[in-house]
Amino acid sequence: MDVERKDWVRALTAHPVSRLNATADQLAAVCTVRLTRLPQAGLGLLSLIDGALHESYYLGEFPLSTCSVELAFPDGRQAEGGAQVMADDAELARSLAIFDAILAARLPGWEQVAELVTSGALQRGAENGRRRAMLAATRVDFALLSDADEDTDEY
């Protein structure tokens, strides 16, 4: 798997939330989950740099859920994980934090999480491809009327 940790949330959230929560519950059943930051749903504030004078301002808010966990396995292994996700869903944040801990430390079940990340990244890639297609299909090269042959249509 060659998806960096900073891109795991984007990849994982390509899957249905119900599937993510079910998988997280299944993986968490064999370890102890300690919440180091309670799952919480709220808002984030989006700060943007304006493109004209490069000053920052707040464009608006977005739903944000967060959670941090520590996992402890019966064999003594432990790992820390956390997630912030643009969603109004604290349970989803908890699931993503569990995945983050498991995958980062290669704890039991990490292959399952890696598969979710890989397939999610593929879905995101396909989504990017569809967006690029809209660009490519509508690329325009306007010609000035004075420069164009009368009977030549342009693209």
Partner 1 sequence: MSYVAIKGGGRAIAAAAAAAEYLRTAEGLLNTVAEPLAIDAILHQLRHLVDRVIAEGGVYHPQFAALAIKQSLGDTLEAAFVLRAWRSTRPRLAATPALDSSRMRLIRRISSAFKEIPGGQMLGPTPDYALRLLRLELMDESPEAFRAIARNWLQNYPEAQLPDTFPKVLDALRRESLLPPISPPHGATPFDITREPLVFPVPRSAVLATLARAETGSLLAIAYSNMRGYGDVHPTVAELRVGYLPVLLPHPVTGELTEVGEALITECEVVAMYEADNTSDKPTFTVGYGACFGHNEVKAISMAILDRALRKGMQNGPSNPSEDPEFVLLHVDGVDSMGFAAHYKMPHYVTFQSDMDRLRATQRKSEEPV
**Binding interface with partner 1 (CB under 8 A):** 5-10, 13, 37, 40-64, 66, 68, 80-88, 97, 100, 104, 128-144
Shortest Å distance, C-beta 123 to partner 1: 14
Q: How far is the CB of 31 from partner 1 (least distance, A)?
A: 17
Residues 6+ apart with CB under 8 A from 7: 121
* DSSP letters spanning 70-134: EEE-TTS-EEEEEEEESSS-HHHHHHHHHHHHHHHTT-TTHHHHHHHHHHHHHHHHHHHHHHHHH
Q: Give the number of other CB atoms < 10 A from CB of residue 116.
A: 21
Q: What's the min distance (Å) between Cβ of 26 and partner 1?
A: 22
**Nearer to partner 1 among residue 2 and residue 57 (C-beta):** 57
Closer CB to partner 1, 27 or 64, in the complex: 64
The nearest distance, CB 30 to partner 1, in angstroms, is 21
Q: Which is nearer to partner 1, 59 or 122 (CB)?
A: 59
